[in-house]
Chain A
Amino acid sequence: MELPVLNEQPAAKSGCSAGSCGSTDDQLDHLSDEIREKVQNHPCYSEDAHHYFARMHVAVAPACNIQCHYCNRKYDCANESRPGVVSELLTPDQAVKKTMAVAANIPQMTVLGIAGPGDPLANPERTFETFRRLSQEAPDIKLCVSTNGLALPDSVEELSKHNIDHVTITINCVDPEVGAKIYPWIFWENRRIKGKRGAKILIEQQQKGLEMLVAKGILVKVNSVMIPGVNDQHLAEVSKIVKSKGAFLHNVMPLIAEAEHGTFYGVMGQRGPTALELQALQDSCSGDMNMMRHCRQCRADAVGLLGEDRGDEFTMDKIEDMEIDYQAAMEKRKVIHQAIAEEMNSKRAEKHQAAQAFAAEEKLTTRPVLMAVATSGQGLINMHFGHAKEFLIYEASPEGVRFISHRKTELYCSGDNSCGEAETALQKTIRALEGCEAVLCSKVGYEPWEMLEQAGIAPNGEHAMEPIEQAVMAVYKEMAAAGKLEDLSEEQRASA
């Protein structure tokens, strides 16, 4: 099967190429019908599916065949969303049991991924046995796999035999000079190869693997870690190349590097990008590529809907005691999946209507504004400011409302008496909201209210339980009406 060429739409400067849509956040609008069909219920690709469907990962693949400067194999890797080798490592048999136990108990679980703790394709027996059995025993579960790409060309044939719905390749560069600053060594043909030579082989394998997967009709997503001063300038080119080869999504993630991780970047003081730098890069790439902006770099061993982790309910000793009738569970899952699909469709239709109504209105000419939203899902503003572990960032402009990204915060209100540190954590949260001019939440306390105002971020609790896009647009219009937003057309006239 030939993959349809994506991004044939005239390149737009910002994320939305369908200029008329009032709500411009939906990544799926860009995709061909065939791919949309494949990914619309995928919690990692569709912002709304995030809130209805769940994915899980199993840690079956401990070995790795390369070294990345942002990784310390001992610990959970924040960058590649893989658990450390110290986390619970499962045998393929245990992984199959666990997956089926979770699927039977959390019917929303539709996707099983293998992402580590090492490289799944450097552990082919363990990875493929897990896939082989799940394809047979639980055919309603989609499988996905993430890889550094080194062993990918050798695995494509085997991958194409299973229920694989997509493959994620982490591609941080296409230039060995840049690669040598990211990958100190690879293990290749029975030798450790360091520096540029190693990076060159890795890059060739990644590109070859990408091409082979596309030729087989397997969806490919590309992840890149943005490392300021190392590959930040280079990633626009990466984006262009992987797109031209047929990757359907490019996800740029920020480097996370702390000295206590003991990684090269952590110890050497390499910084990660700021939220605004990341956003600027995502913006500069999005004309080229369907960027996945809502990736939360979720932990690879998390279980459940995004933002929740029910892993404790499914530890190996608990699973051993569970009796799972998967045939029966599959029937039940099917009914629930249908109901969810209906709900999602009706929400999408509502959104579409709102967008059309919006398009019919008289257009504002004010400048765009970033706003942060606290939500626990269902597309509603339904979370207390102090409880939010992350905020969704939206851009409101005369074109409509566009989803931009997630920003994580440190929870400042932990409910215990560690409130001595509360203030710095609150400051951290406010720093995470840099660039936003309003924050919408169900409620906000007195103290954060004042600090937010001081930081120039207007707290807003007036739209509790309202749909996000509508509320963001309402606030934008209020700001415009109150004369808080300079008129772009006037500005242009003035400078002309």
Chain B
Amino acid sequence: MALKIIESCVNCFACEPLCPSKAIYEAKPHFLINPKKCTECEDDYKEPQCASICPIEGAILDALGVPINPPGSLTGIPPEKMAEAMAELQAH
């Protein structure tokens, strides 16, 4: 089982040094997790380290493809509020 980093990653480097399995590597256009190495931190920590520091909602998926940090969970911005603000900006 392994986690996955997807394209919303902003390449902030925060996760890479924390990984106990050295599964995370810098790549273009964004960081990646080597699924063969990722242990989901099981033997080392209670929570997956990468997903515990990543500041970007939705950037890291669990083994089922579900975002570990869903919209609103990190910023506290309710998703409808975000959608509203973005629609507003688009309109200008």
Contact = CB atoms under 8 A, between A and B. Distances in A.
A267 B74 contact: no
Contact of A267 (B18, B46, B82): B82
A123 B17 CA distance: 9
B14 A122 contact: yes
Contact of B55 (A69, A73, A260): A73
Interface in B5-26: 10-14, 17-18
Could you say which interface size class chain A belongs to? 20 to 34
Given A184-B75, A190-B52, A264-B77, A64 B47 contact: no
B83 to A, nearest CB: 10
B76 interface: yes
Nearest to A72: B75
Given A85-B10, A122-B14, A260-B89, A190 B74 contact: no
B1 interface: no
A73 B89 contact: no
Given A73-B56, A192-B52, A268-B77, A259 B14 contact: no
Contact of B47 (A67, A118, A192): A192
B81 interface: yes
Contacts of A259: 85, 88-89
Contacts of B56: 73-74
Interface in B23-75: 45-47, 49, 52-53, 55-56, 74-75
Contacts of B74: 67, 184-185
A184 to B, nearest CB: 5
Contacts of A67: 55, 74-75
Interface in A256-306: 259-260, 262-264, 266-268
B81 A267 contact: yes
Interface string A99-141: 0000000000000000001100011000000000000000000
Nearest to A267: B85
Contacts of A191: 46-47, 52
A409 interface: no
Given A67-B75, A184-B76, A267-B82, A190 B49 contact: yes
Contacts of A73: 10, 12, 55-56
A358 interface: no
Interface string A234-249: 0000000000000000
A326 interface: no
Nearest to A124: B17
A62 B11 contact: yes
A64 B14 contact: yes
A117 B45 CA distance: 28
A187 interface: yes
A62 B76 contact: no
Interface in A155-207: 184-185, 187, 190-192
Interface of B: 10-14, 17-18, 45-47, 49, 52-53, 55-56, 74-77, 81-82, 85, 88-89
Given A62-B12, A64-B14, A184-B74, 20 more contacts: A63-B53, A64-B55, A69-B76, A73-B10, A73-B55, A117-B12, A118-B12, A118-B14, A122-B14, A185-B74, A187-B52, A187-B53, A190-B18, A190-B46, A190-B49, A259-B88, A264-B76, A264-B77, A267-B77, A268-B81
18 contacts: A62-B11, A63-B12, A67-B55, A69-B75, A69-B76, A73-B55, A85-B10, A85-B12, A184-B74, A187-B52, A187-B53, A190-B47, A191-B46, A191-B52, A192-B52, A192-B53, A262-B85, A266-B85
Which 5 A-B residue pairings sit nearest by Cβ, starting from the closest?
A: A63-B14, A187-B53, A192-B52, A267-B85, A62-B13
